[in-house]
Amino acid sequence: MMRIDILSCVPSLLDSFFAHSILKRAQQANHVQVVIHDIRDYSTNKHRTIDDYAFGGGAGMVLQIEPIARCIRALQSERTYDEIIYLTPDGAQMQQRMVNQLSLKGNLMMLCGHYKGVDQRVRDMFVTKELSIGDYVLSGGELAAAVLADAIIRLIPGVLNDETSALTDSFQDNLLAPPVYSRPADFEGHKVPEILMSGHEAKIEEWRYEQSLKRTKERRPDLLQ
């Protein structure tokens, strides 16, 4: 079973996300265990503080190394981690290829940054991979960790109902997904393409491939390079 430990100073942001839908079912079916840790629990002072001013001055607080190191080491005493991932806007942008690779791992740790970030020594000493979800700044790494965990967990065999559906995702083969339709066949004069109701499987596959190619050329020509 895959295990994902997420370290955060705002763990309540993550709790409800993993308590729902596919992610809840994946955990109930023992495909994955997601454990969220409150970094504040590893503070040693009575006010449970975990941040301090930056050396050298400047605006913004820095997450200190001590509580984070204590938390990471406590977890490492229980299991060996394949990757310790720091979610940060200056990391490499997440791509499906990376997500595919991570979905094959056993134990992953994800560290969510906040404020001005974590003390650089956390990154130097513990972190093995730094990832961003895009070129915009969030107030914390929690949403990015949730995005990454969701993208990974849905790839674990057995997690999706239709076991083949992850294979036909946009990006899985550098093509965007084709349009899909359901009933009614005619909504206020807007009709479903005839071919999809022909029952001709090979023709339908060909049509879907053509539509994928057309969409990709129009919307994401960069994927075809």
- Known binding residues for S-adenosyl-L-methionine are 113, 133-138
What's the min distance (Å) between Cβ of 64 and ligand 6GU? 18
Q: Which two tokens stand for residue 100?
A: 């595919």
Q: Is 110 helix (H, G, I), strand (E, B) or coil?
A: strand
DSSP H helices, 92-162, are 96-102, 120-125, 142-153
How far is 182 from 120, CA to CA, in rounded Å?
51
Distance CA(92)–CA(199), nearest Å, equals: 44
Q: Does 141 bind ligand 6GU (CB under 6 A)?
A: yes
Q: Verify binding: residue 138, ligand 6GU, rule CB under 6 A.
A: yes
Q: Identify which range of 48-56, 118-126, 135-143, 149-157 contacts ligand 6GU by CB under 6 A.
A: 135-143
User: Whose Cβ is closer to ligand 6GU: residue 89's or residue 178's?
Assistant: 89
Eight-state DSSP code of residue 222: G
Which residues define the annotated binding site? Answer: 113, 133-138
Q: Give least dist CB 51 to ligand 6GU, A.
A: 15
For residue 133, state whether it binds ligand 6GU (rule: CB under 6 A).
Answer: yes
**Is 144 one of the binding residues for ligand 6GU (CB under 6 A)?**
yes
Return d(Cα 36, Cα 31) in angstroms, integer. 17
102 is an interface residue for ligand 6GU by CB under 6 A: no
- Tell me whether residue 67 or residue 89 sits nearer to ligand 6GU (CB atom): 89
Site for ligand 6GU in 1-40 (CB under 6 A): none
Q: Going residue by residue from 79 to 98, which x/- string records binding to ligand 6GU, judged by CB under 6 A?
A: --------xxx---------
Which of 144, 136, 148, 143 minimizes the C-alpha distance to 96? 148
DSSP structure string for 54-84: PTT--SSEEE-HHHHHHHHHHHHTT---SEE
Q: Are 129 and 86 spatial neighbours (Cβ–Cβ below 8 Å)?
A: yes
Residue 197 has what DSSP assignment?
Answer: G
Instruction: Note whether 44 and 67 are within 8 A (CB).
Output: yes
For residue 21, what are the contacts with CB-CB under 8 A and spacing of at least 6?
none
Out of 16, 47, 124, 137, name the contact with ligand 6GU by CB under 6 A: 137
Please tell me whether residue 118 binds ligand 6GU under the rule CB under 6 A. Answer: no
In angstroms, what is the minimal distance from the CB of 94 to ligand 6GU? Answer: 8
Provide the binding-site residues for ligand 6GU, judged by CB under 6 A: 87-89, 113, 132-134, 136-138, 140-141, 144
